[in-house]
Structure formats: structure tokens, C-alpha cells
Amino acid sequence: MDTIDRGNDPDFVWPYEDTSRVPFQVYTDEELYRVEQKKVFQGNVWNFLCLECEIPEPGDYKTTYAGDTPIIAVRDEAGNINAMVNRCAHKGSLVCYKPRGNVKELACVYHNWVYDLRGNLTAVAFRRGVGGKGGLTDEFKNSEHGLQRLRVEVFRGLVFGTFSEKTEPVADYLGDELVSAVDRVLIKPLKVLGYYSQIFKNNWKLYVENNKDSYHASLLHVFHNTFGVVRPNMGGGIKISDSGWHHLSYTERTDISDDEIVKENVRSKQDAYSLEDPTLMEHKLELGDNVTNNIQTIFPTLVIQQILNCLAVRQLIPKGVNESELIWTILGFEDDDEEMIQHRVSTNNLVGPAGFISMEDGAVGAWVQRAAKSDREALTVMPMGGRAIEPSQGSRVTEAAVRGFWKGWRECMEI
């Protein structure tokens, strides 16, 4: 039954010589979706699970997902973070059905099977039956019925989990370029400033592509142009990990003054509008450079975002072949003062489902999904920047990082 466990779809063949063409089928095929859960999310990848600061104390847990598999991330008595599939070894019920909490042990309420904070089964209700009748026989070994464990690595405050023994350490998985990118943003202990989520009526991969597609930014999101928010001498580009799997794009201001707080040059152009209150465009330089926007994508579904002073991680969760959910966790640093927190709240108007420069991303994926479903063999075309998967400096008009994502997807899927 290799097709079921390994999930190969024998009918699917990649229809083109490289990843500059993608068939619509990958967004609409139920079978491929099922295979992805096994071979991408439960394969040799690191899934982002939560932030270390969300479960600071022993016994703190948070429920999360890896792909569409429910996961418990929990800190044990020794301070280590463990991750287990949130599914009782007995009948498969969710063990934790609250979003977060603090516990001494993990007890499934259905039949009171109890696990320690590492997922080992420690007790079974009515193990010896009642009055000598019923209960377990000697052949039942607790040690064979723990929760399914993931390997966990905490990297710069981000908690990652993998189902595979083969996944290399996170730093190697990311590669040098992405490691320095993460280090650039997550410079201090973090604190969560808030959450929200966004439902996309589209396959999860369309949102991943959207993030890796720096070509669309100034075309779809016209807020900057409409308001004549002119950015003098903006540089930028994209970088791609050697594997092709991860990427970062950045925009840089090159003529910056030494002022700690630099106001965007907001002015009205002819036929354009002006912002009456540009507070949300203020950038308090805090990361030691002039980079105003930095989007990092970590395969398969994590985005780390710095847009001015709005810091966030975005975790994408597939919800069936036609739907996905993006959980935004908005961040500050532990040492932010009240003024900085309020500034981050203000800047946050730019992003999220109601964000001036990001709301459109919720709509375009659904438009592709609706148009794609009737023609599974038809191909999308991604020729920007040639066919290669290589970095670009000075321009973000390239689809190289999207081609890199499909390279990673094909490698995982063995397609």
C-alpha cells in the first residue's frame, strides 16, 4: 500500500522541463493535497510551530499545526520544548482542545489516557479494570502507545518541528543567507503584541507563491503610488537560499540621514492623493540598517516580516485543497516602551487582512483558484528574470524565488 503511506500519485507527471511553468492541477487536485501532507509537511522540512515566548513556563502549551496535522507544542519540567501530534494514541481524539494553557500532564478527556510533557503514556484509566474484570492485559505496553513525537529545534526564538529523522539542523536547512536574515530581525527577546488570521479561498501554495513573488508588489498594491509616498533612492533585491527553497526580498533606503526617526517623504503628485496623517509610515530605525521592508520565506509555509516597524511571523495552514488560513502573530521586543508599542500598532495598519499594502493578497489567490479549477492541465507562466533560480540585486522584477519554491516542492514530492 505504498501509494497510501508514501502517497505517490502515479498519474501526476511534471509537465514541463523546469519550474517556470506550473500546471493548475497542483492547486486543485485532492490527491496531490493528500500526498503533500505526507511528503512535504511530514517530510524533510522544518515546520514553524510557535514562538518560544508563547510558552515561557514549564507546563505551558500551545496548539498549532504542521500542514493540516494538529500539533501540541509544550515546555516540559526541564524547560525543553517538545512537540507531539495532538491525537490520543487510543482513539485518536484531540488531547488538547484549548488554544493554550498550562498543565502538569497531557490527559485525553475521552478515556483519561495520560501522557507526560514529552508525550510518553503514563497512565490508562481502569487499567486493572473494575473488581478484577476488564482492563488491560499484560501484552499492553505503555511505552508503545505514546503520542507521536516530532523532532524540535528552537532557532532564535522560533520553534520548529519535523517528522523526519533526516531533516538537517535548522541553520543548515536555512543556509547562511537566511540565517543572517533571521538574525537581522530577531535581534532581541520577543513579545507577542497580538494575533489575527485570514482565510484564503485558495490552495496554500498560491499564498506561498504570492510571498515569493516580488514582481507583484508595486503592481497589485498601489497604496504607495496612489498616495505619492515617494521613496528616494530605494534599492533592493531578492536573495535565495542555495537549495532554492527559501528566499528573502528587501527594500533599502540608501540616502538616509542619521536621525533615529526618519519620516517618509510624503508628498502629493499630480493626480495623486496625499496621506493626511503619515504617522503610520514613520520608520524608527531599530535594526541597525536602512532596510525598510524585508520579507523572508522559510519553506514550506513560514513568513518572517519586517515592514518598517511592524514585525510579524505568518504561519500558513492548509485547510483542504481549496482553502488555507494565515495566522499572523504580530511581534515587538520585550524591551519596547509604550510609545514603541503604540507605534507598532499604528504601523500594523499597513499589513494583515485590512492592511493598506497587503489586503489584496487575500483576494488574488482566490481569483486564481476560481479560474484554475476548470482547466487542470493548463500552465501558468513565470518567465520574469529568465528561468534560473538565482538572486537579483537592484531589482525585484523576478519570479526566481517562485521557481525556487516549485523546485523544493518537486524535490519533496519526488515529482
Partner 1 sequence: MALIPSQLDDEVSLRPRIDALNANYVHTIDDDRLEDWPNFFTADGEYSISTRENHEMGLPICLVQCKGTGMFRDRITALRQANIYEPHTYCHSVSALHISSASQGVIATKSNFTLVRTMSEGQMMLFAAGRYMDKIIDYNGELKFAERRVILESRRIDTLLVIPI
Q: Which residues bind partner 1 (CB under 8 A)?
A: 192-201, 220, 222-223, 225-227, 273, 275-277, 279-280, 325, 330, 341-342, 344-346, 348-349, 352-354, 356, 359-360, 362-363, 366
For partner 1, the closer of residues 152 and 366 by Cβ is: 366
User: 11-18, long-range: CB within 8 Å, 24+ apart, which pairs?
Assistant: 12/415, 13/415, 14/410, 14/415, 15/377, 15/379, 16/379, 18/387, 18/403
Which of 414, 310, 302 has the alpha carbon at shortest distance from 356?
310
For partner 1, the closer of residues 47 and 348 by Cβ is: 348
Residue 321 contact, options partner 1, Fe ion, none, Cβ 5-8 Å cut-off depending on partner type? none
For partner 1, the closer of residues 46 and 356 by Cβ is: 356
For partner 1, the closer of residues 143 and 270 by Cβ is: 270
Taking the mean position of all CA atoms in its chain, how far away is CA 51?
Answer: 12
CB atoms near residue 391 (< 10 Å): 17
In the complex, least distance from residue 193 CB atom to Fe ion, rounded to whole angstroms = 22
For partner 1, the closer of residues 198 and 211 by Cβ is: 198
Residue 362 contact, options partner 1, Fe ion, none, Cβ 5-8 Å cut-off depending on partner type? partner 1
In the complex, least distance from residue 372 CB atom to partner 1, rounded to whole angstroms = 17
In the complex, least distance from residue 380 CB atom to Fe ion, rounded to whole angstroms = 17
Residue 388 contact, options Fe ion, partner 1, none, Cβ 5-8 Å cut-off depending on partner type? none
Residues 6 or more apart whose CB falls under 8 angstroms from that of 280 comprise: 346, 347, 349, 350, 356
In the complex, least distance from residue 176 CB atom to partner 1, rounded to whole angstroms = 32
In the complex, least distance from residue 155 CB atom to partner 1, rounded to whole angstroms = 24
In the complex, least distance from residue 205 CB atom to partner 1, rounded to whole angstroms = 17
Which of 16, 18, 12 has the alpha carbon at shortest distance from 403?
18
Per CB under 5 A, residues contacting Fe ion are 361
In the complex, least distance from residue 364 CB atom to Fe ion, rounded to whole angstroms = 8
For partner 1, the closer of residues 251 and 348 by Cβ is: 348
What are the strands, taking DSSP E only, across 165-262?
Answer: 190-200, 229-230, 234-240, 247-253, 261-262
For partner 1, the closer of residues 25 and 348 by Cβ is: 348
Residue 286 contact, options partner 1, Fe ion, none, Cβ 5-8 Å cut-off depending on partner type? none
Residue 200 contact, options partner 1, Fe ion, none, Cβ 5-8 Å cut-off depending on partner type? partner 1
Residue 63 contact, options partner 1, Fe ion, none, Cβ 5-8 Å cut-off depending on partner type? none
For partner 1, the closer of residues 244 and 352 by Cβ is: 352
Whether the upstream peptide bond of residue 300 has omega within 30° of 0, thus cis, is yes
In the complex, least distance from residue 130 CB atom to partner 1, rounded to whole angstroms = 42
| 388 grid coordinates | 534560473
- Rounded to 10 degrees, the C-alpha dihedral 272/273/279/284 comes to 0
Residue 359 contact, options partner 1, Fe ion, none, Cβ 5-8 Å cut-off depending on partner type? partner 1
Taking the mean position of all CA atoms in its chain, how far away is CA 255?
Answer: 33
| 46 grid coordinates | 522544518
Helix axes 204-212, 360-372, angle to 10 degrees: 130
Residue 198 contact, options partner 1, Fe ion, none, Cβ 5-8 Å cut-off depending on partner type? partner 1
Helix axes 204-212, 400-413, angle to 10 degrees: 140
For Fe ion, the closer of residues 298 and 357 by Cβ is: 357
Residue 395 contact, options partner 1, Fe ion, none, Cβ 5-8 Å cut-off depending on partner type? none
Which of 30, 25, 34 has the alpha carbon at shortest distance from 7?
34
In the complex, least distance from residue 220 CB atom to partner 1, rounded to whole angstroms = 7
For partner 1, the closer of residues 13 and 261 by Cβ is: 261
| 314 grid coordinates | 505568518
Residue 222 contact, options Fe ion, partner 1, none, Cβ 5-8 Å cut-off depending on partner type? partner 1
- Type and span of the H or E element at 401: helix 400-413
Residues 6 or more apart whose CB falls under 8 angstroms from that of 43 comprise: 163, 164, 412
In the complex, least distance from residue 156 CB atom to partner 1, rounded to whole angstroms = 21
Burial of 118 (0-12, 13-18, 19+ CB in 10 A): middle
